[in-house]
Amino acid sequence: MKKPAALTSVLAAVVAIALLSVPARADDFPSAISVSGEASVSAAPDLAHLDAGVANDAKTAKEASDANNAAMGKVLLALKGAGIDEKDYQTSRLSLQPQYAPNRSSGATSVVGFRASNRVTVKIRDVTKVAGIIDTLVNAGANDIGNISFEVTQASKLLDDAREQAVADARRKAEIYAKATGVTLGAPLSVSEGGGPVPLFKGRMATAPMAAAPAAVAPGEETLTVTVNVSWAIKQGP
């Protein structure tokens, strides 16, 4: 005897509800302990970055631009004379802006001149020469030196030992949690890396009038930190 469609629908709904009410087995949900481990290594930087600029004011745009081009030309020649490879310096900003002044009688503003500026970014591959390069730039006419930073170029290679230490640190933490919860660690399920080297120093230096004395630069050391995130399968205790 064929069952009515309505009765079939009711029976299907009852079966579905019954299946949903059955608790899932613990085996259906893999358990894990997930922790982060961290380790650091210190290293002296082997690369420096800085930028230098020249700015010139004149009554006309051409006069300001010509004066600025001549001034930057001297700066670039000085860099070349200091042994900086041409591939290690490049123009980072070029600007020509009108200068305004208020008219006291009418209250309106008018153009009273122009300011031309030019900046060059420099890589210095021998950090012991940073102070000397700064002095060279200032003596060549650069009137704005700034944005100096240091870098460890082989950071990833230097971090290899720290990576092993970070995994060991993660395992140490995981074993503490495992003991506290009455389980034992199984095989690692996943490993991912986060974090990275952080510059030790980055700041702006004094402009030319204040930088007449020899530049004092301390590269110091960078602390490179690596963080790993590890998940371990766990086994229930006896």
Taking residue 108's Cβ as centre, other Cβ atoms within 10 Å add up to 8
Q: What is the pLDDT of residues 128-163, one digit of tens each?
A: 999 999 999 999 999 999 889 998 988 888 889 899
Q: What is the pLDDT of residues 1-52, one digit of tens each?
A: 544 544 333 333 333 333 334 444 444 444 899 999 999 988 889 999 999 9
Residue 220 Cα to chain centre, angstroms: 18
In the prediction, which pLDDT does 215 show?
Answer: 63
Q: What's the pTM value of the predicted model, to 2 decimals?
A: 0.62
* First and final C-alpha spacing in the chain: 55
Q: Which token pair is 158?
A: 């230097």
Q: Maximum distance among all alpha carbons in the chain?
A: 107
> What dotted CATH number matches 47-151?
3.30.70.2970
Measured CA to CA, the distance from residue 217 to residue 202 in angstroms comes to 12
Mean pLDDT of 157-181: 92
Measured CA to CA, the distance from residue 49 to residue 8 in angstroms comes to 77
**Residue 71 DSSP code:** H
Q: Does domain 29-46+154-238 have CATH number 3.50.50.60?
A: no
In the prediction, which pLDDT does 236 show?
Answer: 67
Domain boundaries, the chain: 29-46+154-238, 47-151
Q: What is the pLDDT of residues 47-101, one digit of tens each?
A: 999 999 999 999 999 999 999 999 999 999 999 999 999 999 999 999 999 999 8
